[in-house]
């Protein structure tokens, strides 16, 4: 009896051990499959990681290149590193939105026109230059003078001309509204929405310090509204014979505002006939009081105004990235009235440096001699 009970217990223990062993044999492979990936799965994960890595690197590279995009690289610069930067930027720009009229890249007009640096004896930074005698229309210097390109805030000279010719009351108060806020370039302004100033004050700020909200408000409050004002800008350009010129807004923030150096010389000559435009554009500084509570101090955007070497009768500066640094002036040099146009300079001080080169060249060439004519570069 005792033996039978012991045998029964032994058989039960052996059965239990067998069941546990079988369970362990099943569980261990299942656990191992979850904790230790197969070679195939590891290979798949590595392949996915390898595909993701170049994307991350490309993203960093794009950010780095875009940070350098405003920097202009001349075609004449031949170092492999700079050519690589230029190629990278060009590929990014081609994928971005472009102006409706002119395909504008961050490279200079000189690059697009194939201008060689050796063709520029004055070593001008500007891709386009034009100097003309205002009275005789004799061209003293020309460089890509018929190239049509964005003109930025030089647009405001036409805005001022229309306002001056309309004989509107200059003491009429206009209010800056949300419509005048720049949502194209997101440029800043100290004229807050709700600010009130006279039409004369708005014109002063637009011409002297290139105030965008002031210029837009001038067009918006023109009789018939903004659309009519822009239409009249184009009609006036056609009337003056500016066949290369097109306007789409009164500020120049859009790169679709375009013209040529020859056309701009015509505009400068027409604007110079208006004493008000001469006075406002050459004012060194101006204070405007907003509602009698806040006084804003503005300075001329052209630093040559305060330079004793210059006698400037009318001027306007301009800049957006697509247009580069631009400058037009009516100046008196060596007893002659000249019109100077400089477009697409590559840096803040470049247009001023080019203007100084032109002044010295004119003074040395015209002083006590007949006027020379210089073709600089590849203009048509």
Strand order in the sheet with 324-333: 312-320, 324-333, 336-345, 128-133, 139-143, 374-375
Write phi, then psi, for 106 (nearest 5 degrees).
-70, -5
Tokens of 215: 């210029």
What Cα–Cα distance (Å) separates residue 251 from each residue in 103, 211, 242, 247? 20, 8, 18, 9
Q: Select which of 108, 126, 127, 210 is catalytic.
A: 210
The answer to whether 210 is a known catalytic residue is yes
- Give burial (CB, 10 Å; 0-12/13-18/19+) of 293: exposed
Q: Where do we find the tokens 């004493």?
A: 275
Give the integer Cα–Cα distance in Å for 200 and 217. 12
> Of these residues, 108, 153, 260, 281, which one is catalytic?
153
What's the gap between Cα 42 and its chain centre? Answer: 50
What separation in angstroms does the CA of 13 have from each of 18, 21, 243? 9, 12, 107
Phi, psi of 184 (to 5 degrees): -90, -50
Strand, helix or coil at 131?
Answer: strand
β 139-143/374-375 pair status: parallel
Active site residue 153: yes
Total length of the chain: 380
Q: Which residue from 207, 186, 204 is spatially nearest to 318, judged by alpha carbons?
A: 207
Nearest to 184 by CA among 234, 150, 159, 161: 150
CB 33 within 8 A of CB 40: no
CA distance 220 to 180: 8
The H or E element containing residue 141 is strand 139-143
Active site residue 256: no
Find out whether 299 and 284 touch, Cβ atoms under 8 Å. Answer: yes
> Which member of 86, 143, 156, 236 is catalytic?
156
Alpha helices in 79-222 (DSSP H): 80-95, 109-113, 155-166, 199-208, 212-220
Catalytic positions are 153, 156, 210
């Amino acid at each position: 009896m005792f033996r039978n009970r012991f045998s029964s217990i032994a058989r039960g223990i052996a059965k239990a051990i067998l069941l546990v062993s079988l369970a362990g044999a099943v569980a261990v492979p299942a656990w191992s499959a979850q904790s230790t990936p197969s070679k195939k799965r590891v290979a798949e994960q590595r392949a996915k990681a390898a595909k993701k890595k170049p994307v991350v690197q490309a993203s960093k590279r794009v950010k780095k290149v875009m940070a350098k995009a405003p920097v202009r690289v001349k075609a004449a610069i031949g170092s492999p590193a700079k050519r690589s930067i230029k190629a990278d930027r060009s590929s990014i720009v081609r994928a971005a939105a472009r102006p409706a009229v002119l395909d504008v890249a961050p490279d200079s007009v000189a690059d697009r026109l194939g201008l060689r640096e050796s063709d520029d004896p004055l070593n001008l930074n500007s891709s386009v230059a034009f100097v003309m005698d205002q009275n005789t229309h004799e061209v003293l210097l020309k460089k890509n003078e018929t190239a049509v390109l964005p003109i930025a805030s030089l647009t405001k000279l036409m805005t001022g001309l229309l306002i001056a010719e309309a004989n509107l009351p200059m003491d009429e108060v206009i209010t800056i509204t949300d419509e005048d806020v720049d949502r194209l370039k997101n440029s800043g302004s100290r004229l807050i929405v709700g600010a009130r100033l006279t039409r004369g004050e708005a014109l002063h700020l637009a011409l002297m310090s290139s105030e965008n909200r002031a210029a837009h408000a001038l067009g918006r409050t023109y009789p018939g509204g903004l659309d009519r004002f822009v239409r009249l800008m184009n009609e006036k350009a056609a009337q003056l014979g500016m066949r290369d010129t097109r306007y789409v807004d009164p500020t120049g923030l859009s790169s679709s505002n375009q013209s040529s150096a020859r056309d701009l010389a015509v505009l400068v000559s027409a604007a110079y006939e208006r004493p008000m435009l001469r006075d406002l554009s050459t004012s060194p500084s101006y204070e405007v009081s907003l509602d009698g509570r806040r006084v804003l101090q503005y300075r001329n955007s052209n630093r040559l105004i305060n330079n004793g070497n210059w006698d400037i009768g009318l001027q306007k500066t301009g800049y957006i990235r697509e247009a580069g640094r631009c400058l037009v002036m009516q100046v008196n040099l060596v007893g002659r009235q000249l019109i100077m146009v400089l477009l697409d300079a590559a840096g803040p001080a470049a247009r001023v440096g080019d203007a100084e080169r032109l002044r010295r060249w004119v003074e040395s060439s015209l002083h006590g001699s007949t006027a020379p004519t210089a073709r600089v570069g590849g203009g048509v």
